[in-house]
Amino acid sequence: MKIFKSLSVIAIILSLFINSYSNERTEGYKIGDKVSDFTISNYDGKSYTLKNSDAKATVIIFMSTECPFVQPYTERLINLNNEFSSKGVILWGINSNKTESTDEVMNHAKSKNYNFPVLKDVNNVVADQFGAMRTPEVFVIDNNSMTLVYHGRIDDNKEASKVTSNDLQNALNEFLTGKEISSNLTKAFGCGIKR
Protein backbone atom coordinates (compact mmCIF):
# COMPACT_ATOMS: atom_id res chain seq x y z
CA MET A 1 0.00 0.00 0.00
CA LYS A 2 2.86 2.40 0.86
CA ILE A 3 4.53 1.66 -2.47
CA PHE A 4 1.25 2.39 -4.30
CA LYS A 5 0.87 5.75 -2.49
CA SER A 6 4.49 6.67 -3.22
CA LEU A 7 4.07 5.82 -6.88
CA SER A 8 0.84 7.87 -7.02
CA VAL A 9 2.58 10.90 -5.51
CA ILE A 10 5.48 10.55 -7.96
CA ALA A 11 3.04 10.24 -10.88
CA ILE A 12 1.19 13.40 -9.80
CA ILE A 13 4.41 15.38 -9.42
CA LEU A 14 5.69 14.15 -12.78
CA SER A 15 2.38 15.04 -14.42
CA LEU A 16 2.50 18.58 -12.99
CA PHE A 17 6.10 19.00 -14.16
CA ILE A 18 5.32 17.79 -17.70
CA ASN A 19 2.21 20.00 -17.92
CA SER A 20 4.06 23.10 -16.71
CA TYR A 21 6.93 22.40 -19.13
CA SER A 22 4.62 21.90 -22.09
CA ASN A 23 2.63 25.03 -21.18
CA GLU A 24 5.84 27.01 -21.01
CA ARG A 25 6.82 25.81 -24.49
CA THR A 26 3.53 26.89 -26.07
CA GLU A 27 3.58 30.48 -24.77
CA GLY A 28 4.87 33.27 -26.91
CA TYR A 29 4.21 34.41 -30.43
CA LYS A 30 3.37 32.39 -33.49
CA ILE A 31 3.91 33.47 -37.09
CA GLY A 32 1.41 36.22 -37.96
CA ASP A 33 0.78 37.23 -34.33
CA LYS A 34 0.82 40.89 -33.37
CA VAL A 35 3.87 41.61 -31.23
CA SER A 36 3.44 43.83 -28.17
CA ASP A 37 5.81 46.74 -27.87
CA PHE A 38 8.58 46.67 -25.27
CA THR A 39 11.39 48.91 -24.09
CA ILE A 40 14.73 47.85 -22.62
CA SER A 41 16.79 50.42 -20.74
CA ASN A 42 20.21 49.03 -21.51
CA TYR A 43 23.59 49.15 -19.79
CA ASP A 44 24.87 51.47 -22.56
CA GLY A 45 22.60 54.24 -21.23
CA LYS A 46 20.17 54.00 -24.15
CA SER A 47 16.58 52.82 -24.26
CA TYR A 48 15.54 50.46 -27.05
CA THR A 49 11.84 50.47 -27.98
CA LEU A 50 10.59 48.07 -30.61
CA LYS A 51 7.76 50.22 -31.99
CA ASN A 52 9.75 53.47 -32.14
CA SER A 53 12.13 52.09 -34.70
CA ASP A 54 12.04 53.49 -38.24
CA ALA A 55 13.24 50.13 -39.53
CA LYS A 56 11.27 47.92 -41.91
CA ALA A 57 12.03 44.91 -39.72
CA THR A 58 13.68 44.12 -36.41
CA VAL A 59 15.64 40.92 -35.97
CA ILE A 60 15.81 39.77 -32.36
CA ILE A 61 18.40 37.11 -31.61
CA PHE A 62 18.44 35.63 -28.12
CA MET A 63 22.10 35.19 -27.22
CA SER A 64 24.45 33.99 -24.50
CA THR A 65 27.95 34.84 -23.37
CA GLU A 66 28.74 31.17 -22.74
CA CYS A 67 26.67 28.91 -24.98
CA PRO A 68 28.94 27.01 -27.41
CA PHE A 69 26.19 27.21 -30.05
CA VAL A 70 26.20 31.03 -29.98
CA GLN A 71 29.95 31.71 -30.11
CA PRO A 72 30.58 30.38 -33.66
CA TYR A 73 27.98 32.84 -35.01
CA THR A 74 29.91 36.03 -34.18
CA GLU A 75 31.23 36.69 -37.69
CA ARG A 76 28.00 35.61 -39.38
CA LEU A 77 25.91 37.96 -37.22
CA ILE A 78 28.25 40.87 -37.90
CA ASN A 79 28.05 40.10 -41.64
CA LEU A 80 24.24 39.86 -41.52
CA ASN A 81 24.06 43.25 -39.83
CA ASN A 82 26.45 44.72 -42.42
CA GLU A 83 24.32 43.30 -45.22
CA PHE A 84 20.89 44.33 -43.98
CA SER A 85 21.30 47.47 -41.85
CA SER A 86 21.45 49.68 -44.96
CA LYS A 87 18.26 48.01 -46.24
CA GLY A 88 16.12 49.04 -43.27
CA VAL A 89 16.63 46.03 -41.01
CA ILE A 90 17.92 46.37 -37.47
CA LEU A 91 19.40 43.56 -35.43
CA TRP A 92 19.28 43.32 -31.64
CA GLY A 93 20.99 40.66 -29.60
CA ILE A 94 19.12 40.00 -26.36
CA ASN A 95 20.62 38.16 -23.40
CA SER A 96 17.95 36.77 -21.07
CA ASN A 97 20.06 34.31 -19.08
CA LYS A 98 19.61 34.86 -15.35
CA THR A 99 23.06 33.33 -14.78
CA GLU A 100 24.86 35.94 -16.93
CA SER A 101 25.31 39.36 -15.33
CA THR A 102 24.96 42.71 -17.06
CA ASP A 103 28.73 43.21 -16.78
CA GLU A 104 29.34 39.84 -18.46
CA VAL A 105 26.97 40.74 -21.29
CA MET A 106 28.61 44.15 -21.78
CA ASN A 107 32.15 42.73 -21.73
CA HIS A 108 31.21 39.88 -24.07
CA ALA A 109 29.65 42.27 -26.60
CA LYS A 110 32.78 44.45 -26.53
CA SER A 111 35.16 41.51 -26.86
CA LYS A 112 33.23 40.16 -29.87
CA ASN A 113 33.09 43.62 -31.51
CA TYR A 114 29.41 43.22 -32.30
CA ASN A 115 28.23 45.98 -34.62
CA PHE A 116 24.68 45.84 -33.24
CA PRO A 117 23.33 46.40 -29.73
CA VAL A 118 23.28 43.51 -27.28
CA LEU A 119 20.61 44.13 -24.66
CA LYS A 120 20.26 42.66 -21.18
CA ASP A 121 16.75 41.32 -20.58
CA VAL A 122 16.53 41.51 -16.79
CA ASN A 123 14.14 38.94 -15.30
CA ASN A 124 13.54 37.32 -18.73
CA VAL A 125 10.67 39.70 -19.50
CA VAL A 126 11.22 39.78 -23.28
CA ALA A 127 12.15 36.09 -23.50
CA ASP A 128 8.90 35.21 -21.73
CA GLN A 129 6.91 37.56 -23.96
CA PHE A 130 8.28 35.90 -27.11
CA GLY A 131 8.35 32.38 -25.69
CA ALA A 132 12.07 32.14 -26.45
CA MET A 133 13.65 28.93 -25.19
CA ARG A 134 17.13 28.75 -26.78
CA THR A 135 20.28 30.61 -27.63
CA PRO A 136 20.58 31.37 -30.46
CA GLU A 137 16.90 31.77 -31.35
CA VAL A 138 15.63 34.34 -33.87
CA PHE A 139 12.42 36.33 -34.16
CA VAL A 140 11.83 38.76 -37.06
CA ILE A 141 9.19 41.44 -36.64
CA ASP A 142 7.63 43.43 -39.48
CA ASN A 143 7.80 46.90 -37.91
CA ASN A 144 5.04 48.26 -40.13
CA SER A 145 2.39 45.78 -38.99
CA MET A 146 4.13 44.76 -35.73
CA THR A 147 3.69 41.08 -36.64
CA LEU A 148 6.02 38.13 -36.34
CA VAL A 149 7.15 37.03 -39.81
CA TYR A 150 10.00 34.60 -39.04
CA HIS A 151 10.94 32.41 -36.07
CA GLY A 152 13.72 29.89 -35.71
CA ARG A 153 17.40 29.53 -36.45
CA ILE A 154 20.07 31.65 -38.10
CA ASP A 155 21.11 28.80 -40.38
CA ASP A 156 21.31 25.02 -40.23
CA ASN A 157 24.77 24.43 -38.72
CA LYS A 158 26.87 26.08 -36.05
CA GLU A 159 29.94 25.34 -38.19
CA ALA A 160 29.98 27.92 -40.97
CA SER A 161 31.67 25.54 -43.44
CA LYS A 162 28.81 23.03 -43.09
CA VAL A 163 25.88 25.41 -43.62
CA THR A 164 23.50 24.32 -46.37
CA SER A 165 20.56 26.65 -45.62
CA ASN A 166 20.92 30.34 -44.71
CA ASP A 167 17.43 30.53 -43.20
CA LEU A 168 17.51 34.00 -41.65
CA GLN A 169 19.25 35.59 -44.63
CA ASN A 170 16.78 33.98 -47.03
CA ALA A 171 13.81 35.12 -44.92
CA LEU A 172 15.06 38.71 -44.83
CA ASN A 173 15.69 38.80 -48.57
CA GLU A 174 12.18 37.51 -49.29
CA PHE A 175 10.64 39.94 -46.79
CA LEU A 176 12.44 42.94 -48.29
CA THR A 177 11.30 42.08 -51.82
CA GLY A 178 7.70 41.81 -50.64
CA LYS A 179 7.49 38.07 -51.11
CA GLU A 180 5.88 35.75 -48.61
CA ILE A 181 8.63 34.09 -46.60
CA SER A 182 8.75 30.55 -47.95
CA SER A 183 10.26 29.04 -44.79
CA ASN A 184 9.06 31.26 -41.95
CA LEU A 185 9.36 28.68 -39.17
CA THR A 186 12.55 26.68 -38.61
CA LYS A 187 13.80 24.69 -35.65
CA ALA A 188 16.19 26.62 -33.42
CA PHE A 189 18.99 24.63 -31.80
CA GLY A 190 21.33 25.58 -28.99
CA CYS A 191 21.41 26.03 -25.22
CA GLY A 192 18.35 26.53 -23.05
CA ILE A 193 17.70 30.03 -21.70
CA LYS A 194 18.32 29.96 -17.96
CA ARG A 195 15.41 31.56 -16.13
User: For the chain, how far is it from start to end, CA to CA, in angstroms?
Assistant: 39
Q: pLDDT per residue over 31-77, tens digit each?
A: 999 999 999 999 999 999 998 778 999 999 999 999 999 999 999 99
Residues 6+ apart with CB under 8 A from 66: 97, 100, 191
Distances (CA, A) of 124 to 36, 97, 100, 120, 173: 15, 7, 12, 9, 30
Confidence check: pLDDT of 9 > 50: no
Over residues 5-17, mean pLDDT:
42
Residue 39, strand partner residues: 49
Q: With bands split at pLDDT 50, 70 and 90, how would you rate the model's confidence at 10? A: very low
Q: pLDDT per residue over 104-133, tens digit each?
A: 999 999 999 999 999 999 999 999 999 999
Contact call for residues 143 and 177 (beta carbons, < 8 A): no
pLDDT score for 52: 74
Confidence check: pLDDT of 2 > 90: no
Domains delineated in the chain: 29-192 (3.40.30.10)
Q: pLDDT per residue over 19-32, tens digit each?
A: 333 334 448 999 99
- What pTM does this model have? 0.86
